[in-house]
């Protein structure tokens, strides 16, 4: 491995560290957070809406939109040691989490990633998932 390849890491062009708090979250933790959140919305949907597909998606979007700007991430993000941050700093605000969650619900934007491991949903919302 050359020195330049060791110095390159996801998030470097965003000014984020290679490891530790503030570094781009690994895929394993992101998947864990998503599975945790999805299990929660499925349980809520089963309990209150007879597990209708629309209620499951709506609950997912609402939980993301409420928890990301107030707690720095969804319950799944926080359990897995992650935070959703605004690229460039500052508060994520109310619209970024809503746009991000709606794009995740569409699935495809979350499956398209760039060299910084940012999904299309994060690129369009101006956010990134980092280690807490």
| 8 Å CB contact between 131 and 17 | no
DSSP assignment of 1-21: --HHHHH--TTGGGT--SSST
**Closest CA relative to residue 44, chosen from 33, 55, 35:** 55
Task: List, for residues 79-109, the tens digit of each pLDDT value.
Answer: 999 999 999 899 999 999 999 999 999 999 9
DSSP E strand boundaries for 21-68: none
pLDDT at 6: 56
Task: List, for residues 49-83, the tens digit of each pLDDT value.
Answer: 999 999 999 999 999 999 999 999 999 999 999 99
Half-sphere exposure of 72 (CA within 13 A, CB side): 12
Asked whether the whole model's pTM tops 0.95, one would answer no
Q: Which residues, listed in sequence order, are joined to residue 128 by a DSSP beta bridge?
A: 85
| 8 Å CB contact between 125 and 99 | yes
């Amino acid at each position: 491995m050359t020195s330049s390849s060791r110095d390159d890491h996801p998030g470097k062009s965003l000014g984020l560290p290679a490891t530790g708090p503030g570094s781009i979250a690994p895929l394993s933790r992101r998947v864990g957070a998503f599975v945790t959140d999805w299990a929660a919305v499925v349980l809520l949907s089963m309990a209150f809406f007879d597990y209708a597909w629309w209620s499951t998606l709506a609950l997912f979007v609402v939980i993301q939109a409420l928890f990301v700007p107030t707690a720095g991430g969804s319950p799944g993000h926080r359990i897995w040691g992650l935070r959703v941050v605004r690229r460039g700093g500052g508060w994520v605000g109310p619209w970024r989490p809503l746009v991000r969650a709606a794009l995740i619900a569409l699935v495809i934007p979350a499956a398209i990633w760039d060299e910084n491991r940012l999904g299309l949903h994060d690129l369009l919302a101006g956010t990134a998932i980092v280690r807490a």
